[in-house]
A and B are shown apart, each in its own frame.
Chain A
Amino acid sequence: MGVNDFAKLPHIGESLKRKEDGRFLTGAGQYTDDIRQADQKYAAFVRSPHAHAVIKHVDTSQAAAMPGVMRVFTGADMQGKMGGLPCGWLISNPDGSPMKEPPHPILAHTKVRHVGDQVALVVADTPEQAKNAAEAVQVDYDVLAPVIDMRRASQGPALHEEAPDNHCYTWTLGDKAAVDAAFATAAHVTQLDITNNRLIPNAIEPRAVNAAYHRASDEYVIHVANQNPHVERLLMTAFVLQLPEHKVRVIAPDVGGGFGSKIFLYAEDVALTWAARQLGCAIKWTAERSESFVSDAHGRDHITHAEMAMDKDGKFLAMRVHTHANMGAYLSTFSTCVPTILYGTLLAGQYATPQIYVEVDAWFTSTAPVDAYRGAGRPEATYVVERLVTRAAWEMGLAQDEIRKRNFVTQFPYQTPVALQYDTGDYHACMNQAQQLADVAGYQARKQTSQAKGLKRGIGYSSYIEACGLAPSNIAGALGARAGLFECGEVRVHPTGSVTVFTGSHSHGQGHETTFAQVVAARLGIDPSQVDVVHGDTGRVPFGMGTYGSRSLAVGGAAIMKALDKIEAKAKKIAAHLMEASDADIEFSGGQFKVKGTDKTIPFAQVALTAYVPHNYPLDTLEPGLNETAFYDPTNFTYPAGTYICEVEIDPATGVVRVDRFTAVDDFGVIINPMIVEGQVHGGVAQGMGQALMEHGVYDVESGQLLTGSYMDYAMPRAADFPEFTLGHVCTPCTHNPIGSKGCGEAGAIGSPPAVINAVLDALKELGVKDLDMPATPARVWHTIQTAKV
């Protein structure tokens, strides 16, 4: 079935209310912390109060003797019994040598390398006893100087023996000689130094794990707040604990948000699984919010110098970028590919820039590991490109929209100079619709109204592109990926015609149980209520790569479509037999099988029943049953794109930035459930505005302490901080997956930060302000205005 026919089916494009919300809204959700096993014990971790220190001695004697304590484990107990946490992507230096990949121990053994680094594990009968005992563990530290500022990391003390100058890798992409040559002939060069601020993920459900070992079956059952349970199992069994994979079941039940931070294999998950076997029980740990702040993988944290070379008309000739990327203290699971594969390849943006060269230096610092966070590399790239383009426009005396329109890619497929090939898109259409919805025509009048109130109004553009559904596996493998990037789907038709779908994608708030049910219901001509979606359980789902990089529908949904193709093909054979016709003469639509050119039909449910009660059935040529599995490995990324327009009003007396209007026009290809997509865009835009205006993870340079370790100092955005968003859509269906969808989960967080900052800078231009880093807090804006006045 072609994409156009698929998109016209019933339930496709229908804002069906979410099937999962009933249990979420009535407190019936089952999160990891809700799971209680027989013989349930509880864990607490002893964490480092220092950013960098040698562990001289750990005394657990007092803690071990406390009430209810089963055992206290230290790094020494684990030494030699397991591997460290693996990094899932190998990045190579320009000379071909591999990145520095120092060990990432499950419990710190000789050294701690960031505040919150886990040093010991206490297992006790109650959470309170575990916590009390953890406080009684005596650790003798020799405190060393921290390494916080990555620009000076090479001069700091080495965090790892393997990386004496704290340098992890240098990565380059593009033709440097061609770029340099283009710069030499440019009519104008625009330069920009920018910081992409460190963010701390704040899923509503903190990380949690409940690991059980069952002696009778020699099996492990691990409940964990995770986005990809099969990957968690593979990494843990094959690379860390050397356990038989088939004896380990990982279940990610209801999960309350992830934003990337729950993709990774964390030390706590491994430590509890191992300890459960040692003690023969189930052990549960749920992070407290203050633990989440210091131990979840953080996001972003780049320092970049970018240059754009242009001809006299503002046509882009070449772009040159250097970025310092903070890895934190250890290499988290996908940390290394974020500022490289997911960043450098996106620097073309929506523009036909002929030559691009990017160089990235990655550094170890004594901070929490940095890894993928909603957008993962693509927000960083978009921020560089869209800030640079707006500044270039102003330097060239062009309007923000004009310079973009002059440089948009218009012919597809388009091969960028940074490896990607865009399959389809219509960037002018997104821009035009955004300008209409944002009432750009009325902007000058609004600016005058603001002016009369003593306020500064500005407008900012951002035309983003992202690459979703990371693929194909073989090309990713050639680029250093240590995992496949396909997805698996199984469609199980029951005898009565209802359906259970097993998907390797994982929903932690995205609404897959509804969207995927709509896809299956549309294809089979049944009601979505007849379709249940099972995910997040290695014991029930054949395999899965999980959910990240806005891949669920484009890759996971495509796998389900492939399985549905098989279901339909087999069902047609059964129907042909029942109606005594040839397979080739059977048509299927609206849930009815029909013999072409006749009025003979039978419903889907009758075929389903026949498959399981095969009395009148071609048993000699066809197996009974109607249950099909498919794996789908995409042939290319998908390329969602759009234009965002932000209008801000700034009070120069206080520096307060108020977002007055925000318009987002996105091209996500075919949309299954518009309400869910809108929700994803709203959340993404709010997260991006959080980064632009409020959020900032800050470590003290002298002490290495996290200064923003709670909501008292880490500024989370709230609904009341934003206006109602105006959304619009353009649809150019993805050309290479059967749904035609592109992915919508990260777009808002990718596209919005530069739109906001460009608007702030536009507003402050008349005060002499040229530059401003995120987050544009009131204090920072006010100080910037004061400095510009001087």
Chain B
Amino acid sequence: MYAFTFERPATLADAAKLAKAGGKLLAGGQTLLASMKLRLAAPEQLIDLGGIRELAGIRKEGNRLVIGAMTRHADVAESKEVQTAIPALAELAARIGDKQVRAMGTLGGSLANNDPAADYPAAALALGATLVTTQREITADDFFQGLFVTALNESELITAVRWPIPKRAAYIKFPQPASRFALIGVFVAQTDGGVRVAVTGGGNGVFRHAELERALDKSFTPAAVADVKTDASELNGDLHGSAEYRAHLIGVMAQRAVAKAVG
């Protein structure tokens, strides 16, 4: 780790000001701090968002859940509101990383980082979440733009995420054996606007799976997706799984997710 200065602003406005001046935002730090320890990231200044109270918290607004960007994974996992309204989201949060990661990692940090194997992006995309920032509102469909890239401008912060409550939803993660990130994760959601399926771990970023969505719109059953194939040429392959294996896993995880959602 290289030397850096540390700021802990108490208001969003102060944080935005510091970010605009070139500081690096620190949410839960579960990616950033590890990168800094390896000297792969070398910010001169960290702006810790942990002191801004308005950023954390979970509440229900009509047919939506609103979760503050600085809400920790463990708090989402343990929230009765989340467990009741969107159990799939609580379960997803309960299986991110390990206990230490869940105690520190945050919803906003995970979404802003947009790791191609992260869990939360799959939930946001499949549930059709809306990301509220210091400047505007962005739909999940517009937010994720590929490998670690999002629609966020420099110095723009996510403040909260609005989650429409689905009719049914489920997430199944197939862990990469070493890192335990998603080798493939599939989130299926039956929403008011139709079925949405998001896949993480397979490519350069989370993506929606149109063929699976079409098949599930016709019949929301595991059997409906049993024969849906995924084009492996669009996927990544590495030491832990070829593109062909990942393509196959998408089908298997989709069936299992639907089976779980149906109950």
Contact = CB atoms under 8 A, between A and B. Distances in A.
A778 B239 CA distance: 12
Band of interface residues on B: 10 to 19
A779 B179 contact: no
Contacts of B57: none
Nearest to A779: B241
Interface stretch (B78-86, B88-96, B123-131, B245-253): B245-253
A398 interface: no
B11 interface: no
Contacts of B62: none
A653 B245 CA distance: 10
Interface of A is mostly: loop
Contacts of B178: 694, 708, 711-716
Nearest to B245: A779
A655 B241 CA distance: 11
A657 to B, nearest CB: 11
B38 interface: yes
A290 interface: yes
Band of interface residues on A: 20 to 34
Interface string B175-198: 001110000000000000000000
Given A694-B177, A783-B245, A654 B252 contact: yes
B242 interface: yes
A387 B249 CA distance: 30
Contacts of A698: 239
Interface string A768-790: 00000000011100110000000
Given A707-B239, A708-B239, A713-B240, A778 B252 contact: no
Contacts of B252: 653-654
Given A698-B239, A777-B177, A782-B245, 4 more contacts: A128-B1, A694-B178, A708-B239, A777-B240
Most-contacted residue by chain A among B2, B38, B174, B177 (CB, 10 A): B177
Nearest to A653: B252
5 contacts: A707-B239, A779-B240, A779-B241, A779-B242, A782-B245
A782 B38 contact: no
Interface in B1-29: 1-3
A221 B38 CA distance: 31
B177 A778 contact: yes
A707 B178 CA distance: 12
B241 A713 contact: no
Contacts of A655: 245
Nearest to A693: B177
Most-contacted residue by chain A among B1, B3, B179, B242 (CB, 10 A): B179
Interface in B83-123: none
B245 A715 contact: no
Interface string A684-696: 0000000000100
Interface of A: 128, 132, 135, 290, 653-655, 694, 698, 707-708, 711-716, 777-779, 782-783
Given A711-B179, A712-B179, A654 B174 contact: yes
A777 B238 CA distance: 13
Most-contacted residue by chain B among A135, A712, A778, A779 (CB, 10 A): A779
**8 cross-chain pairs, A with B, having the tightest CB-CB distances, nearest first:** A715-B178, A715-B177, A779-B241, A712-B179, A779-B245, A653-B252, A713-B178, A694-B177
B177 to A, nearest CB: 4
Nearest to A656: B174
Interface in B206-242: 239-242
Contacts of A713: 178-179, 239-240
A783 B38 contact: no
A198 to B, nearest CB: 13
B230 to A, nearest CB: 15
Given A653-B252, A777-B177, A779-B245, A290 B38 contact: yes
A135 B1 CA distance: 13
Contacts of B1: 128
A783 B242 CA distance: 9
A56 B174 CA distance: 47
A777 B174 CA distance: 13
Contacts of B241: 778-779
A708 B240 CA distance: 11
Contact of A782 (B3, B239, B248): B248
Nearest to A712: B179
Nearest to A651: B252
A707 B239 CA distance: 8
Contacts of A132: 2
Contacts of A653: 252
A679 to B, nearest CB: 23
A715 B175 CA distance: 11
Contacts of B179: 711-713
A698 B240 CA distance: 11
A708 B179 CA distance: 11
Contacts of B240: 713, 777, 779
Contacts of B38: 290
B53 to A, nearest CB: 34
A42 B10 CA distance: 38
A778 B3 CA distance: 42
Interface string B148-180: 000000000000000000000000001001110
Contacts of B3: 128
A783 B247 CA distance: 13
Nearest to A290: B38
B248 to A, nearest CB: 7
Contacts of A708: 178, 239
Contacts of A714: 178
Contacts of B174: 654, 778
Contacts of B177: 694, 715, 777-778
A128 B241 CA distance: 38
A117 B261 CA distance: 52
Nearest to B177: A715
Contacts of B248: 782
B218 to A, nearest CB: 23
A707 B240 CA distance: 11
A81 B161 CA distance: 65
Nearest to A132: B2
Contacts of A777: 177, 240
Nearest to A707: B239
Nearest to A782: B245
Contacts of B39: 135
Nearest to B241: A779
Nearest to B98: A718
A782 B39 CA distance: 37
Most-contacted residue by chain A among B3, B241, B242 (CB, 10 A): B241
Nearest to A714: B178
B41 to A, nearest CB: 15
Nearest to A698: B239
Nearest to B246: A779
Contacts of A290: 38
A698 to B, nearest CB: 6
Nearest to A778: B177
Nearest to B179: A712
